[in-house]
Amino acid sequence: MERFSDRKQDHLPSHFYNIKADLAEQPKPPLHPGTGEPLDPSALRAIFPSGFIEQEISRERWFPIPAAVLAAYAQYRPTPLVYAAELKKRLGTPAHIFYKYEGVSPMGSHKVNTALMQAYLASEEGVRQLVTETGAGQWGSALAYAGERFGVSVRVFMVRASYRQKPGRRVLMNLSGARVEESPGPNTEAGTALFDKDPDHPGSLGIAIAEAVETVLKNPASRYALGSVLDGVLLHQSIIGLEAEKQLAGLGLEPDTVIGCVGGGSNFAGISFPFVGKGLRGGKKAEFIAVEPEVCPSLTGGELRYDHGDSAGLTPLLYMHTLGKDFIPPAIHAGGLRYHGMAPLVSHLVAQGLVTARAVPQDEVFAAARTFFTSEGILPAPESAHAIAAVIAEARQAKEENREKVILFNLSGHGHFDIQAYAQ
Ligand SMILES: *Cc1c(COP(=O)(O)O)cnc(C)c1O
């Protein structure tokens, strides 16, 4: 029936936005981990699909979103832009607060936006298997879903401590047909060395990355997929901000302040970069706030320098804010924010003064989550609650200044799999 057109994708942005096209000064390039020389992109061909590498290094402003990916997005996008009327009332603020709700995505977070694009690029090149690592399972479950959709099998090395303590997302990965194994395990050289000494070794993301990369290098039909940090991942997440821009424009509005939490930087970049770019091209200059946990403060407490993405030192050197590759973050509940580094593009914008970084303490984060849950009726992911803590602080500030400004933030996911964290 005409009225029930399945062309919902006609309402979606047709292109991803690449902020590198609008930067006067580019970030420093990645370096080869062995030689310390600028990396030749072809050296990455054994690891990533070539289509992904092309997007990673491009400075084109707009990238067309393939029809098959748009069709997959249309199942859950555009995600809602919600006016937080009850939260506004609760805070008694003149500020207008809007949130972009990525929790309606399959698996409940923004991560599937890049997972679908990466699985599509792999399938186009005949890649049979995508390999990755996961901590609590947000990224692993997103990639498992996307792989199933595009006919690419998925193998996930899951940090053993999470595998045993947080089985929820492991079950989701299995339901999507992915192979999930405890890391460190007996199937790789990197894993065996540790597994033989202690079969209960709790593991770490750094070890799981080492196992995943080794597996890819040994299997020519396999490639690696990463859920954050890289320029290409940030490019895919721009769909969040592009939709928000259109949704706000429909109300005749533009944001004054844009806020997101940062782990590797992808959901923050997703909601903010299209607006940063507008400002760089002569449009409205908004304020951008990246929010991180006080106990894992790469932007506010780290150094801007070259560092490895993993603890084993296998990955290329990235120029980013880092706490050092050997930094072991405390076991906070927002697992997705426990990363020693930061996306080079987010680091670059902070260094240029275009983005402000802020660290928030865990008690304030949980108080914010509770305020949001009891006013807006959505239990936020503990990661997203960091953004909410900053939103509440900004809204209170606006009240003091009696300023009617527009605050936009990214509610990157729901917290339904994090009930244990809330219980504690
Ligand atoms: C993984 C995750 C994050 C952190 O990752 P970024 O790359 O910084 O976005 C934030 N929120 C949720 C819900 C996540 O799953």
What spacing in Å lies between the alpha carbon of 357 and ligand 1's midpoint?
A: 16
For the CA of 270, the nearest atom of ligand 1: 9
What are the two backbone dihedrals, phi and then psi, of residue 341, each rounded to the nearest 5 degrees?
A: -110, -165
Q: Is the shortest distance between the CB of 138 and ligand 1 below 6 Å?
A: yes
pLDDT at 1: 43
pTM, rounded to two decimals: 0.96
For the CA of 262, the nearest atom of ligand 1: 8
Q: With CA atoms as reference, report the closest residue to 321 among 340, 335, 296, 334.
A: 340
Reported as half-sphere exposure (CB side, CA atoms, 13 A), residue 322 has a value of: 19
Inter-residue contact 15 to 64 (CB < 8 Å): yes
Q: Is the shortest distance between the CB of 264 and ligand 1 below 6 Å?
A: yes
| Percent of the chain's residues with pLDDT above 90 | 83
pLDDT at 338: 77
Q: Where are the domains positioned within the chain?
A: 70-109+231-423
What spacing in Å lies between the alpha carbon of 111 and ligand 1's midpoint?
A: 7
pLDDT at 240: 98
Q: Which residues of the chain have pLDDT under 70?
A: 1-8, 331-332
Burial class, 217, CB count within 10 angstroms (exposed 0-12 / middle 13-18 / buried 19+): middle
What's the CATH architecture for 70-109+231-423? 3-Layer(aba) Sandwich (3.40)
Q: Is the shortest distance between the CB of 290 and ligand 1 below 6 Å?
A: no
The structure tokens listed for 78 are 């555009």
Inter-residue contact 160 to 203 (CB < 8 Å): yes
Q: Is the shortest distance between the CB of 347 and ligand 1 below 6 Å?
A: no
Q: Is the shortest distance between the CB of 266 and ligand 1 below 6 Å?
A: yes
pLDDT at 327: 80
pLDDT at 337: 82
Cβ-based neighbour number of residue 28 at 10 Å: 17
Inter-residue contact 71 to 343 (CB < 8 Å): no
Q: Is the shortest distance between the CB of 137 and ligand 1 below 6 Å?
A: no
Cβ-based neighbour number of residue 15 at 10 Å: 14
pLDDT at 332: 67
Q: pLDDT tens digits for 136-188?
A: 899 999 999 999 999 999 999 999 988 998 888 999 999 999 999 999 999 99
Cβ-based neighbour number of residue 319 at 10 Å: 18
The structure tokens listed for 136 are 């609590």
- Rounded (5°) CA angle 69-74-75: 105
Q: pLDDT tens digits for 371-385?
A: 999 999 999 999 999
Q: Is the shortest distance between the CB of 265 and ligand 1 below 6 Å?
A: yes
pLDDT at 421: 84
Burial class, 93, CB count within 10 angstroms (exposed 0-12 / middle 13-18 / buried 19+): buried
pLDDT at 309: 84
